[in-house]
């Protein structure tokens, strides 16, 4: 985790410096690149600070140990259903909703309704049918 902290904090400093240089090079008249580079530096710093705080709280991780085995980093990532169609339905609902924002607001409610149905189906898929427990 310490290598990740270094990469993100170095990136944050780099992007802020490049953003300031870019701002001076364009006389701060170009309002897309300068703020984008500063925000990229801010987001990199946020990730770096989060990783640093997590590293302080959790302690030494297997990826920091040179003698660690791959199995040392194994963790339970949760239960996922490889047979489930609900994630595809959620993605379709998001696509319809964003299409509605871009093309016409009257399409957006259809995406919201499909999204609500998809989230309910995703939440309760293990409580009904053959896979209920």
- pLDDT digits over 16-63, tens only? 999 999 999 999 888 889 999 999 999 999 999 999 998 888 777 777
Query: Per-residue pLDDT for 11 more than 90?
Result: yes
CA distance 14 to 24: 16
In 3-state terms, what secondary structure has residue 118? helix
19 lies in some domain: yes
Q: 7 and 57: one domain? A: yes
126 lies in some domain: yes
Q: 101 and 54: one domain? A: no
Number of neighbours of residue 28 by Cβ within 10 angstroms: 12
Quote the domain boundaries for residue 127: 86-131
Mean pLDDT, the chain, whole residue set: 88
Query: Per-residue pLDDT for 132 more than 70?
Result: no
81 lies in some domain: no
Residues in the chain: 133
Q: 10 and 59: one domain? A: yes
* DSSP one-letter code for 30: -
Q: 90 and 49: one domain? A: no
77 lies in some domain: no
């Amino acid at each position: 985790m310490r290598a990740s902290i270094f990469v993100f904090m170095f990136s944050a400093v780099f992007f802020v410096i490049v953003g300031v240089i870019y701002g001076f090079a364009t006389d701060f008249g170009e309002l897309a690149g300068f703020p984008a580079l500063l925000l990229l530096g801010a987001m990199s710093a946020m990730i770096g600070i989060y990783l640093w705080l997590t590293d302080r709280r959790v302690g030494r991780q297997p990826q920091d140990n040179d003698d660690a085995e791959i199995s040392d980093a194994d963790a339970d990532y949760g239960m996922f259903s490889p047979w489930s169609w609900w994630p595809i339905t959620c993605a379709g609902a998001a696509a319809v909703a964003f299409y509605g924002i871009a093309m016409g607001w009257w399409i957006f409610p259809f995406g919201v309704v499909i999204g609500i149905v998809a989230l309910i189906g995703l939440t309760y898929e293990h409580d009904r049918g053959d896979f209920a427990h």
